[in-house]
Chains A and B, each alone.
Chain A
C-alpha cells in the first residue's frame, strides 16, 4: 500500500511541476509620487519659475531628473508646491490628498541660500501651516540649496514646527528633494 501512496504522491508532484508560475499582476502604484513641482511667481513683474524633481519609475531603476533655475535677487515670490503621480495618465494630483489630510501633513522648506526666507501662507483646519502655499523672499545675489520635505504625521505643536523648523517634527518623510539654486 505504501508503494501506491508513494506513486500517487510522485504523480501529484509531477503534475504540479508541469505547469510554470503564472504571470504576476502588476500592482497599481496609486500611492506613488513621481514628481514635485515648485512654481514661483514673482510679486509684480517677471516670469514665473519652475523647479521640478521627476522620478517616473519610482525607487531605484533610472535616476531622477532634477530641473532648477535661477531666482531674482531681492524679490518676493508666491510659491506653490505640487505633487504628482505621472505613472497614471492623466497624471494624478497627490497635492489634493495632502490638502485634504492637511492636519497630518506639513511641507518644510530649509534653505542654505544667504538671505532667502520662506513663510507659510496657508493653514489646516487646526490653524497650523500645511506649506503648500508659501511666500519666498530672496536677498542679495548668492547661491545654495533649498530642501523641500513633506512629512506625514509630524508633531505640529512641537517647538518651532509651525514656524517651519523641522527639527522637532518627527513623522515620516514622504518627500525630500534638494535643489541647487543661484540667486542673481
Chain B
C-alpha cells in the first residue's frame, strides 16, 4: 500500500539513424525502480495506438516493434504503482530509460535543489497518487495518518486534523502547493481545508526545523503537492467514482489536462456526499458531510529562462457534528458520558446535515515563477492570496440554529522570493525573504461575543541554508529570523462592552544543522538538531468564551511568551534493495514554556450552570518517540511489513503527561501481488494485489482523571482488506479497488476522537472505487 510512483527522469538514450518508413520503427528501453535503482521485471509497456505491448524481462528490458511514425502514447505500469503515460513523437528507432518510483515506504532523501521538497538530511515520508486515489473518500488527515508517527485528532469521522510526532494545530504547518494554509488552524475541531484528490503526493516532514518554510519553526510540516501537468499535447484525463457503505458515501473526481503549445492546463474537480455514519450498533445521527472542490492549474514557459504557473483552488465543505455530542454544560456532559447510546440517536439513516455543523469555504490563488539567471543560479518568486470563511452552527433557541455561533473571515497574502545557487564544490545555497499579512474578522451576525478577536498580523522572514552533498555524506546548516507584528482588537468581557487594542511585536530566531552519512553503501545514518522560537498565536493570548467544540470556557493569557524548542532526530536504515529492510527514527523534542490549555480546578458558574474552565498556561515539556518500519520480501509475490510508533509527552513542571499525545500503535500488513498480467475474457488484468492490514492501537495510559472528563478508552484491534487491479482497454485504462475497513465490526473508541465521550467509533465499511484514465 505504501507505494508511490513518479517519473523522475526520462532520457532519450540512443537514436539510430534508420529512417522511419511505414510502420517499421522499434521502441525499446529499460525500466528501473527509482528508489532502489534495480531493473523492474514484469513491468507492462503498451503502445496505446497499436494495442501492442511488451513485458520487461529480468533486466528491465522491453522491445516493441512495427510502430508507425507519428504521435504515440506509451503506458507503463507495474504492481503497486499508478500507471504512467508518456507521449512521444516518434520517427526513428528509439530507446528510452524510464524510472518508476515504486519503492515502498522508506525514509526518503530528495534532491537538494528541488525547492518544494525538504532539504537532504531531513526525514520525510510520502503517500502517492495511487494511495490517495484508492482511498479517495478519506480526508487529508486520515490519509496521512497511515504513516508511522502520524495520527489524526478527530471530532467524529469527518472532522480530522493531523498530529505529527505529537505536534498539531499552531505547531504544525500545512503547505498546500507551497503556500502556508491559512484559516483557523488553532481549533482542535477544525480540519485543514484541502482536497487531497488534487495532490499527487502528500509528504510529512518528520524532522527538525525546516528553515525555508514560514511558520515551520517546530519542524512538523505536511506538504500537499499537486502533480505537474504531463507533457502531452493531447487532452487526457481521469474519471473516478468511489463509494463507502458506512455513511453511504458517494463521490466523483474528474481530472482533465492538456499540455498545449501556448499554455498547459489542468482542471480537477471533486464532489463528495455522505450521510449518517454508523457504529456496529447504531447510527451516528447528523454525521454526514458534503464537499465540492475545484482546482485549476496553468503552466506557461515565458522564455527559456522563465517559467510561470498559476494555481486557483476552491474548497467548500459542510460537515455535520454528532447531534448527541452537543452539550449545554458540565451536568449535560456528565449525563452524556455515562450513556450506552448517545442522546438523539434515531434508527434511521439520513443525508441531512443540521446543527451542530460547520460550513467552511477556502479559496486560494497562487502565482509562481522561476527565473534562471544561469544553469546553476535561479530565483523563485511566489505570490498568493487566500480567503477562509468558517461558520459553525450550534443548536440554538427560536430558530437561531440557522445563525452561526462562530463566523470568521480570514484573508492571507504571502509574497516569497528565494535565490538558489549550486557551486562547483557540491555546495548548495538557498536564501530567501518572505512577507505575509493575515487579516481576521468576526462577523457580528452571531450575536455572541467572539472567541477569537479581530486582528491583523504581519510577518516578515529571512533565511539562509547551506548544504554540501557528496557520495558518502550530506551536511547542512540553516538560520532564520522572523518578525511578527500583531494588531489585535478585542471586546471587553465585562460591562459596559469596550474595545481594547493591543499591539505586539515578536522576534523569532531559529537555527538548524544536519548530517547524513552513508556507511559502506549499505547503512544510512542521519542526525539533525534545531533550536527555534515560536511566538504565541492569537488564540493562546486572547481567546475568551465558550468553545462549543470543546465544551468548555477557554481563556487566553495576555502575558504568554514565546516557546523555545529544541528538537533532535536520529535515524538509521539499511539499503532499500535488501529483501529485509529496516528503518528507525528516534526524536527528542524539548519545549520550554510550552503553551497548552490547562483544565482548572474551579468551574465557571454561569446561568447555564457550571462549565469546565481551561486556561492557556505554560510549562516545560518534552516529547520523545520512536517510529520503526520493517519490510520483508518473502517471495517475488509476497511482502510482509510491520510498523510501530511509540510516543510520550511529559509536562516536566507539573509532573504529568501532555494531553492529545497519540496512543502507541502497531500495524502489520501482508500483501500478495500477481506480478505477471493474466487474461480474463481476452482482457489483460494487471497489477492484481490483495492486501491484509492489522492495526493494534494501545491504550493511552498516561492521562490521569484530573486531566480529562473521561479516561482514555481501551486498546483495540482493526482488520482491513483490499483487492485492486487494472485492466487496459485500448487507450483507456480501468482500475478497480474493493476494500473493507473494520471487517470484524468491532466496537471501539479512540482517544484522539472527541466523539469518544459520547459514542462508539465506526463499524464495518465496504468500499469500492473505479477509475478510468483516458
Contact = CB atoms under 8 A, between A and B. Distances in A.
Interface in B360-416: 369, 371, 379, 381, 383, 395-398, 400, 413, 415
A28 B396 CA distance: 15
B444 interface: yes
A62 B604 CA distance: 11
A173 B609 contact: yes
Contacts of B396: 31
Nearest to B439: A21
A173 B442 contact: no
A46 interface: no
Contacts of A2: 369, 371, 379, 381
A127 interface: no
A140 B303 CA distance: 97
B413 A24 contact: no
Contact of B454 (A13, A21, A170): A21
A29 B449 contact: yes
Contact of B344 (A22, A101, A170, A176): A170
A72 to B, nearest CB: 27
B125 to A, nearest CB: 34
A60 B397 contact: no
B383 A9 contact: yes
B447 A31 contact: yes
Contacts of B442: 24, 27
B343 interface: yes
27 contacts: A10-B415, A13-B415, A17-B485, A20-B456, A20-B487, A20-B501, A21-B489, A24-B441, A26-B497, A26-B499, A27-B448, A31-B400, A32-B447, A53-B607, A58-B606, A59-B608, A60-B545, A60-B606, A61-B493, A62-B494, A64-B606, A97-B398, A152-B395, A173-B329, A173-B331, A173-B609, A175-B608
B497 A55 contact: no
A87 B496 CA distance: 10
Contacts of B553: 59-60
A130 interface: no
B413 A30 contact: no
B607 A55 contact: yes
Q: Which of A34, A170, A175 has the most CB of B within 10 A?
A: A170
A40 interface: no
A6 B381 CA distance: 8
A57 B444 CA distance: 17
A172 interface: yes
Interface in B494-511: 494-495, 497, 499, 501
B458 interface: yes
A177 interface: yes
A92 B345 CA distance: 35
A159 interface: no
B608 A174 contact: yes
Contact of B607 (A9, A10, A13, A34): A34
A23 B499 contact: yes
A118 interface: no
Contacts of B456: 20-21
Nearest to A177: B607
A25 to B, nearest CB: 4
A136 to B, nearest CB: 21
Contacts of B441: 24
B343 A171 contact: yes
Contacts of B587: none
Contacts of A57: 493-495
B494 to A, nearest CB: 5
A177 B437 contact: no
Q: Which of A6, A152, A176 has the most CB of B within 10 A?
A: A176
A24 B487 contact: no
Given A27-B448, A31-B397, A60 B604 contact: yes
B251 interface: no
Contacts of B491: 24, 26
Contact of A172 (B332, B381, B446): B332
B196 to A, nearest CB: 30
Contact of B397 (A28, A152, A176): A152
Interface residues of B, number: 63
Contacts of B331: 149, 173, 176
A98 B398 CA distance: 8
A140 B446 CA distance: 48
Interface string A85-104: 00100000000011011000
A170 B327 CA distance: 9
**Cβ-closest 10 pairs across A and B:** A176-B609, A173-B328, A170-B343, A172-B328, A27-B444, A25-B444, A61-B493, A61-B494, A21-B456, A24-B454
A17 B446 contact: no
B455 interface: yes
Nearest to B343: A170
Q: Which of A30, A35, A100 has the most CB of B within 10 A?
A: A30
Contacts of B329: 173, 176
B417 A6 contact: yes
Contacts of A25: 444
Interface string B477-496: 00000000101110101110
A26 B444 contact: yes
A141 B607 CA distance: 28
Interface in B305-349: 326-329, 331-332, 335, 343-344
Q: Which of B344, B397, B400, B611 has the most CB of A within 10 A?
A: B397
A22 B70 CA distance: 63
B493 A175 contact: no
Nearest to A23: B499
Contact of A29 (B327, B328, B448, B607): B448
A10 B326 CA distance: 46
A36 interface: yes
A79 interface: no
Interface string A121-164: 00000000000000000000000000001011101000000000
Given A2-B379, A64-B605, 8 more contacts: A10-B415, A21-B439, A21-B455, A29-B449, A59-B611, A64-B606, A170-B344, A173-B328
Nearest to A26: B497
Contacts of A9: 383, 415, 435
A34 B326 CA distance: 22
A43 to B, nearest CB: 29
A63 interface: yes
A5 B546 CA distance: 45
A59 B415 contact: no
Given A26-B497, A170-B344, A176-B329, A55 B606 contact: yes
Interface string B647-674: 0000000000000000000000000000
B607 A60 contact: no
A21 B500 CA distance: 12
A100 B345 CA distance: 26
B244 to A, nearest CB: 29
A110 to B, nearest CB: 11
B379 A101 contact: no
Nearest to A59: B606
A57 B604 CA distance: 13
Interface in A36-62: 36, 53, 55-62
Contacts of A63: 605
A32 to B, nearest CB: 8
B247 interface: no
B760 interface: no
B544 interface: yes
